[in-house]
Structure 1
């Protein structure tokens, strides 16, 4: 595998309508998601940009990390897109929730090629090339953690 450069980071920070931890409808504190890629490894960070602590669902542990709330759409230079999800067969699982104080950051790294090669994503490895990735984090249906929708973009170079 040849070395690759760290690609540019893009992010979108949003205020979301959703359920606060008390269960009330209202404006949720701001959270920011950023993404960057090194080869086919996508790094995602979440930052609490608000003034109150947040509970953030980052992944589900099912003997390995599954990322139930994330999807990544990879668009090649030819315009063809491929959407990846990050869940697979599991018998037991537990959501992992991180408490983020204002200004705190947490992150995860996902091997996009490994996930693309799984049956859940068509069992096809990623072709060599450059992709524009759109990363979506969607917890809008959650009630016990920060609930909202965030998007970020990154350039992914698959060796």
Structure 2
């Protein structure tokens, strides 16, 4: 099976042990992602947020050729606990209906001769940009530095409404990071 992994955040510049083939490609499907989740260390991370404006995400081929193995590899990279982990790793396989949040996925995947696609499917914890700005304003020291790094290192093509406001308020413009 040819299995693709979609990415829009730290997977791109910090894949760690994620078993991928080559580089991340910039012509992924349109996905409604936004800076809308507080991670354990205080960062505000990108997640699918169904009411966000879709942006073109990145993708790469996975080395595993079996869907369950690819999903487990992504789970491990994202450090998702084993309890209920399958709800937090999204997947689509050829012949299935399009996921609600990524309606163009079947056509996009077919055009690239893909059999399956996986992605991180964590839920948002913020609903409005004002909550995120307040959260970022309340961070200090190392937590604030990590939050800034994540936002600035997110691929520049992930131009979201919240990112534009964060850039305007904090001056955290995109920069190239990692691999």
- TM-score bracket, normalised by the shorter chain, equals under 0.3
Which has a greater percent of strand? 1
User: TM-score if structure 2 supplies the norm length?
Assistant: 0.24
Q: TM-score, normalised by structure 1?
A: 0.26
**Structure with more helix by fraction:** 2
